[in-house]
Amino acid sequence: MELKKIRVAFLLLLCTIGFGTAGYYTFEDMKPFDAFYMTMITISTVGFQEVKPLTIHGRLITILIILSGVSISAYAIGTLLRMLIEGELRKEFGRKKLERQIQSLQEHYIICGFGRIGKLICKELFDRKVPFVVIENNPVAVEELEKLGYLFVAMDATSEEALLKAGIMKARGLVTAVMSDADNVYIVLTARGLRSDIFILSRGSDEKAQVKLLRAGASRVILPYQIGGKRMAEVLTRPTVVDFLDTAMMDSELGLAMEELKVSQNSSMVGKNLIESNLRKDYGVIIVAIKKAHGKMIFNPQSSEVIEAGDIIVALGKKDMLEKMSTIL
């Protein structure tokens, strides 16, 4: 709308210049360039000397040029200023709103870096409706974050201030996914200094980086290239297994999911074994594993395995049934 107003003002200004040039050329017998020059100094009101003394007709033309030129210029300048001021105000209000949304978050994740790995992580969290904040200072990435509607802090992720603005004191966990291993180590050290109890997941390029990240305080380290290589080897050696996992985990039409469900203290399942709980029968799920509260992992648990408070049950089944089972647990 504002751009349309600017175009209209520019068109009116061209009409005024054309009118003045034609008027001086016709009624004052000026050469075309002199008529154009006279029109321009009249519109700009610079007060230069007239090309030649004007007749009554020339003075009337000059008055009309001044009135229209000043009005159109004021209109155009006012529109431009309004666009600039409103744009800055919108940006400022947008920043304030973003800060308020981030400050209100609790139990969220902080994603440091919005590169190839960071984008994939954010997409998965967004699809699962898990709250998160991205820390990224690359202008191109920030523009993409704005378009996607993700919460973000446009700062260097290695700075303590950025982590605090992203709400690290209330966050559930932090992911370092920047390209540089050195930056990832620095972020881990800074985050661990602010929160000794926070879960930190780091990206590493190789085993050497993994050792350094763990020493710096990372809870877990993922090596994307190593995982990618193993995945490709599995496609070659165990294609049916890979197809099954892809179908079970990624085929949205089937509605299947593998979830980890924590058993609370007041759950009615506490103290019962798997056969007594009827979890498999009532919810049609496959109990893949149970991680005991003390850390032991039991794969393919027997029906006699007793459910205890604090256990984490890894189950495969329909998403809606898993949600109901989560409520019971």
Percent of the chain surpassing pLDDT 90: 34
Task: Tally Cβ neighbours within 10 Å of residue 205.
Answer: 15
- Give me 249's structure tokens: 């985990």
| Cα distance between residue 111 and residue 115, in whole Å | 10
Q: What pTM does this model have?
A: 0.64
Tell me what the mean pLDDT of segment 70-91 comes to: 72
pLDDT band at 217 (very low <50, low <70, confident <90, very high): very high
Q: With 90 as the cut, is the pLDDT of residue 181 above it?
A: yes
pLDDT band at 94 (very low <50, low <70, confident <90, very high): low
pLDDT of residue 320: 85
- Give me 85's structure tokens: 């001021």
Domains observed in the chain? 2-100 (1.10.287.70), 105-228 (3.40.50.720), 256-328 (3.30.70.1450)
Tell me what the mean pLDDT of segment 187-215 comes to: 94
Q: Name the average pLDDT for the chain.
A: 86
Q: With 60 as the cut, is the pLDDT of residue 252 above it?
A: no
Give the C-alpha distances (Å, rounded to integers) separating 184 from 128, 229, 270: 25, 22, 41
pLDDT of residue 172: 94
Q: Could you report the per-residue pLDDT of 101-147, keeping only the tens digit for each?
A: 888 999 999 999 999 999 999 999 998 899 999 999 999 999 899 89
Better pLDDT: 325 or 50: 325
Task: Tally Cβ neighbours within 10 Å of residue 212.
Answer: 18
For 106-110, 212-216, 297-301, which range has the lowest pLDDT when averaged over its residues? 297-301
pLDDT of residue 57: 82
